[in-house]
Structure 1
């Protein structure tokens, strides 16, 4: 309805900004930019990627302002996110590379804002559908370009990092820059497409073709890291299936049993870590990771509480990153472990804040997935399992689509299970 005194143009703009169609498009574009960041960087460079992000943030801000009267703002942002992002921003004070820290924090905040917008204006099923639509396009494009490079032209597509190895059944990278990232995206896609299909949110033939697409990309990456992650995701999916079929009065006992099994398994892995490292150390990829982690741990001891300063993506020059590149004999863009990376950049305080953020998001999502009947609640829990396990071998969760997904899942979990919302629903009455 037109506001009193408003011109038709103003009314049309307001209706457009409030419309669910705009929210749908913005959500798809945000996921597209996040998952396609390597593609955008390869084609347009940093100015193009940052321009796309800033444009999305401006339009999302206007959309939020237009919707402000209809949105529930109480307890919107989990405190754990505020603490972690706030500490990262504060690290500019002691950072030895303040301009890089400011750039890294700005990049982090752009994705965080888009994630908050998505979580605030979209339901979980709508987020699931947007993710599925974007990943269908990007995985399809990846396989098409791999076929063109490896089978039709027999030439690498250098600016995208595509080597054309599909003729030998991999490893392939697609438009994501590395086989591990393609494998991670394929696994996220497989979970998304499976839940879409089971929830009947897409046509059956679309769901089946999508699953074949994700499975083919996952296998062709030939990534041992992602295969291990897939194993853990499969175990988590079976555990959730068991929990959801268990009577509510007995579910808490099963939850305790599963938690105990995780603790025992983690303790056994820690005690056998020397043997595990010995088995994995046969590959040059793990040797590089182990060398990097040892040096990161040594350098972290020089600034144990506050870290060296937030950077997000590692810069290509400057102390101490030059030294790490020299030690590993390759240019690194991350610590190849999100937890080591956070400890290295923002110290013990930042590490605790990050673990709290991740832990609260996971526990809340897991409990919601166990207790809520709609299948769509399983999606955030399994996505967080993927991000959690992958974080032991990659730092993807700290930037780009990994950070976007973590914040989206964290906010949605807090909306479904938050102590601040509980207080708001049951205020104390004066006696």
Structure 2
């Protein structure tokens, strides 16, 4: 029988470190929280507004209880204060809101989304966070395909919310239009909206690619997930998402060029080129929007946004330019102030289809300034988080991490999407804005710092000196 020598040359073999069951369950809960945000309106279409509201509130309560039990390391002085200021101003709008009920309801949604964003960022390390986002996106992508396939194969007819088969007054009311095998038509996924499915599919492509670049296991499967996300992205056929993809590619190329700089001032030429391409692209989009959007299958006024929705919103917003009419994201269409105000395809719209106009309408110039500072701070931090080499001492040759690309690419998507949609103000857009902003301020280096090391200890890993 083999025995160990009394003078071993190395340590006896031991079992690999395994994650504690509690932490595995915690990460599973975070995946569910992210899935709720990314799947968006799917919950309302499937279960209705009352049940969805109960699930969202219960989820936030569970996260608060877990937060109080786990007590993750949080530097309270390093909160994203521009976001806090924006939320505080939105809360103050209760004092002058023209739609008080809508303000109260949507403020609750804002609070719950913000709590969940901070919770996920606080209890997961950077690597776990990206991994959890990837898992949540896999569920969204897979369920979207399965849902459309189920409708096409078994239902064989357009489907209304609540799993009802019937004829709608307008196709916009359908949850699924049964277009999966109609290759020239758009599909909507579990969200029931192509303009919501496409940006999430674009985000999935980016996240899966970053996971591959970071050396994640089972890379062949990740390539398969990229193919599925690309299929859904193309079939959703959203003009805004196509432009967001172009913006993300521009940002990615610029970041990678910035990382190649070796001498002070070498980045200047890249900044100039980035500015020229960005400003030139914006001007080309403005002056040549008709042929561009025609090529993408959309009208030059973004399917009525410019001539109908934006004009109406701007007219009302200018009546209360300083403080706005009161917070309401999204618009509550059963409120008399919104019901029948702007009608698109026979349905009262729920947003201004431009996040800047929406903020101006609701919170006036003050709110617009606060939100602009919030977004500027996010873009600033995520940009240098991506382009600067990780450094907290005299060592200046540490390698870049592919994970640092994700926050700035998300910012590019939200910035472009916010031109034609207000969705960055709610659901996954707002959650990611707060989550990454909070995480970067708490843990500006991947794997380094109290928050990162505290989570590693919870997983049962020994703390190692950062390379």
Q: Give TM-score scaled by structure 1 length.
A: 0.86
Residue 197 of structure 2 contacts residue 233 of structure 2 at CA under 8 Å; is this kept in 1? yes
How far apart in 2 are the matches of 1:26 and 1:112?
16
CA shift digits 1:246-274 (9 cap, x unpaired): 226345424642563266437735xx735
Q: How many residues align?
A: 400
Whether 1:86 aligns to 2:88 is yes
Give the CA deviation at 1:229.
Answer: 1.2
Give the CA deviation at 1:191.
Answer: 0.5
Equivalent of residue 376 in structure 1, options 366, 386, 403: 403
Q: 1:231 maps to what in 2? A: 246
Q: 1:144 maps to what in 2? A: 146
In structure 2, the CA distance between the partners of 1:45 and 1:251, relative to structure 1 (3 Å rule), is: farther
Equivalent of residue 311 in structure 2, options 294, 299, 312: 294
Q: CA RMSD in A?
A: 2.6
Give the CA deviation at 1:196.
Answer: 0.8
How far apart in 1 are the matches of 2:21 and 2:69?
6
Q: 2:193 maps to what in 1? A: 178
How far apart in 2 are the matches of 1:62 and 1:112?
15
Equivalent of residue 275 in structure 2, options 260, 267, 274: 260
How far apart in 1 are the matches of 2:322 and 2:345?
25
How far apart in 1 are the matches of 2:324 and 2:20?
42
CA shift digits 1:349-399 (9 cap, x unpaired): 111111111110111101110114111010111111111110101111111
**Between 102-111 and 116-125, the greater mean CA deviation after superposition:** 116-125
Give the CA deviation at 1:231.
Answer: 1.1
Give the CA deviation at 1:98.
Answer: 1.0
Give the CA deviation at 1:327.
Answer: 8.1
Give the CA deviation at 1:203.
Answer: 1.1
Residue 201 of structure 2 contacts residue 232 of structure 2 at CA under 8 Å; is this kept in 1? yes
In structure 2, the CA distance between the partners of 1:34 and 1:327, relative to structure 1 (3 Å rule), is: closer
Give the CA deviation at 1:27.
Answer: 1.1
In structure 2, the CA distance between the partners of 1:254 and 1:408, relative to structure 1 (3 Å rule), is: farther
How far apart in 2 are the matches of 1:143 and 1:378?
28
Equivalent of residue 276 in structure 1, options 265, 285, 289: 289
How far apart in 1 are the matches of 2:152 and 2:345?
30
How far apart in 2 are the matches of 1:236 and 1:416?
23
Residue 292 of structure 1 contacts residue 324 of structure 1 at CA under 8 Å; is this kept in 2? no
Q: Give TM-score scaled by structure 2 length.
A: 0.80
CA shift digits 1:145-184 (9 cap, x unpaired): 2122234542122226111111112300010121111101
Q: 1:60 maps to what in 2? A: 63
Whether 1:407 aligns to 2:424 is no
Q: 2:176 maps to what in 1? A: 162
Give the CA deviation at 1:275.
Answer: 4.4
Q: Give the number of the structure whose alpha-carbon radius of gyration is greater.
A: 2
**Between 285-294 and 102-111, the greater mean CA deviation after superposition:** 285-294
Match of 1:316, SS state, is coil
In structure 2, the CA distance between the partners of 1:17 and 1:295, relative to structure 1 (3 Å rule), is: farther
Residue 239 of structure 2 contacts residue 293 of structure 2 at CA under 8 Å; is this kept in 1? no
Q: Which of the pair is proportionally richer in helix?
A: 1
Give the CA deviation at 1:283.
Answer: 2.0
Q: 1:346 maps to what in 2? A: 363
Give the CA deviation at 1:127.
Answer: 1.4
In structure 2, the CA distance between the partners of 1:262 and 1:121, relative to structure 1 (3 Å rule), is: farther
In structure 2, the CA distance between the partners of 1:334 and 1:107, relative to structure 1 (3 Å rule), is: same
CA shift digits 1:257-300 (9 cap, x unpaired): 2563266437735xx73543686487287242112111111111
How far apart in 2 are the matches of 1:289 and 1:175?
24
Q: 2:458 maps to what in 1? A: none
How far apart in 1 are the matches of 2:231 and 2:292?
28
CA shift digits 1:189-229 (9 cap, x unpaired): 11111101111224111211110010000111122221111
Q: 1:12 maps to what in 2? A: none
What stretches of structure 2 of length at least 5 have no aligned partner? 1-18, 164-174, 390-399, 446-467
